[in-house]
Structures are given as structure tokens and as C-alpha cells.
Amino acid sequence: MEIEVYNDDRNSRAYAYHSNLLVEIANELLAPEGKTFEIGENGEILRFLLYYFNGLREAEQVMPEKQYKIHKNLIICGKVGVGKTFLMRVFEEYLKRTRNPRGYANLSVTQMVNYYKINNHLDRYTYNEENSRTFEGNPVNICLNDIGLKTHTHFGTDTKILIEDFLHARTEIWEQRRKFTHLTTNLTPKQLIEYFDDEYGRLADRFKFYNIIFLKGDSKR
């Protein structure tokens, strides 16, 4: 299935190639489940993301009423099972195959918590000093998936607090190093801000660095 292409001779062939590659990757990832990729009502979002991840200003004209910007990070919202994490897996592989500098590594909250339980810090997913010989560290682009689903405790540490520490660090990394941090969540934008609100409104205010995108549809599980 081909994503709808802008009627622009300068870009249409290139866009068709990249959109078809994206669908091909999605179908490869779904093949073990015997499923095929369906765009459904999220065609405009996919079009925006293709332009966005390629750093093209055309992204900002796909849904101008949303005022999305290509220099901001992403928060992908939507119901449980709608395909948020899968979508970010598809783009992770697409960016890898196209050798795109906006490529990122997908990370689950469970994976991050398990790393913390073993190491008692989040360095690998923040400043990444363990993989650097410089004072500044070696942070990379990351997508943290399924935040806000549950709040539970591991050895006295609240998962929510770990996520807050991660987001505070990643905001600093964004401001200083311009390394992207994308998020997926089943919380609505309002719930997301309320979930991370504190008496100073510091973290909630930092969501201004994100394009908040609501993925439409029902569970595909």
C-alpha cells in the first residue's frame, strides 16, 4: 500500500520511494504474525513523520493547524494497542536503512528499569558516559516507549521517579547537544502533563519541546 503523495513533480518520485520503503519495512515486521500494514486514518501523520525524520520543512505544512515543528521531539499518544510502539519500530528500521542521522534507539520503560536495578543509574540512556572518552559523554537519540502505564516500585524506587529523572536529563541533553528524545504513551496530552506535574511545573513546561501527536484508531492486537 502506498501512502498518498503530494502532487509535486519535484518530490513525488522521491516521496513514493521512501513511503514504499516504509510500508515494506512495516510488512516485514508484521510477517511473523501473518498481518499486513494498514495506514487507515493516520495517513497524514505518516506523511508528516516521513518529512519530519528527513528534516524537511514540508513536514510543517502537512497539518499546519497543529503547528508541528521539525526541530521538536515527538510524543506519540493513542489508545493501548493502536500501534504507537510498532510505528516507532518501523521508523527506527527505516532510518537505519537510509543511514539517517536522525536515527534513534527504541527503549521500553521495563528495559530502562531493569538497567537501573542492575547499575543504580540511567547513564546509558542519558549522558552515556560509559561509552565515551570525553567529558561531555556520548548521548544518542532515543525513543522511550509506553510511559505512564503504571507506577510501581523496584527496591524502593518509584518507576515514575525514574522516568522523571530520565526526562529531566534528556531535556538538558536536547538543549545542549540537540539529541532527540521521542516518547510513546497511552495517556492523553492532558493526562501526560498532569501525570508529570509538580508544584513548580518544571517538567510539564518542558513538554513545549515536543510535537504531541495523537495516533487514531482502535487496538490492533
pLDDT digit string, tens, across residues 73-123: 999 999 888 999 999 999 999 999 999 999 999 999 989 999 998 999 999
Pair 16, 59: CB distance under 8 Å: no
The answer to whether residues 99 and 176 belong to one domain is yes
CA distance 162 to 168: 10
- Total number of domains in the chain: 2
- Paired strand residues for 210: 73
The answer to whether residues 85 and 154 belong to one domain is yes
Pair 203, 168: CB distance under 8 Å: yes
The answer to whether residues 182 and 147 belong to one domain is yes
Task: Identify the domain boundary among 47, 70, 93.
Answer: 70
pLDDT at 44: 94
Pair 151, 158: CB distance under 8 Å: yes
pLDDT at 55: 93
The answer to whether residues 122 and 203 belong to one domain is yes
Nine-digit cell string for 164 = 522523571
Can you tell me whether residue 107 is helix, strand or coil?
A: strand
The answer to whether residues 45 and 66 belong to one domain is yes
pLDDT at 193: 80
- Indicate if the pLDDT at residue 201 is higher than 70: no
The answer to whether residues 50 and 111 belong to one domain is no
pLDDT at 132: 74
CA distance 138 to 131: 6
Question: Among all chains, which residue has been given the C-alpha cell 561509552?
Answer: 131
Decide the pairing of beta strands 210-214 and 73-77.
parallel
pLDDT at 4: 44
Distances in Å between the alpha carbon of 208 and those of 76, 85, 88?
A: 14, 22, 21
CA distance 120 to 66: 39
19-38: string of b/e by CB count within 10 Å (b at 16+)? beebbebbeeebeeeeeebe
Least confident of 92-101, 135-144, 174-183: 135-144
Q: Is the dihedral of CA 54, 58, 63, 69 positive or negative?
A: positive
The answer to whether residues 61 and 8 belong to one domain is yes
The answer to whether residues 93 and 78 belong to one domain is yes
Residue 145, domain CATH: 3.40.50.300
CA distance 136 to 196: 27
132 vs 201 pLDDT, higher one: 132
What is the reported pTM? Answer: 0.90
Report the alpha-carbon angle 169-191-113, nearest 5: 40
The answer to whether residues 45 and 99 belong to one domain is no
Task: Identify the domain boundary among 39, 70, 101.
Answer: 70
The answer to whether residues 185 and 216 belong to one domain is yes
Nine-digit cell string for 221 = 492486537
The answer to whether residues 204 and 108 belong to one domain is yes
Question: Among all chains, which residue has been given the C-alpha cell 513514493?
Answer: 16
- Indicate if the pLDDT at residue 27 is higher than 60: yes
Task: Identify the domain boundary among 21, 53, 70.
Answer: 70
The answer to whether residues 124 and 202 belong to one domain is yes
Amino acid letter for position 59:
A
pLDDT band, residue 6 (cuts 50/70/90):
very low
Q: Which domain holds residue 33?
A: 1-70
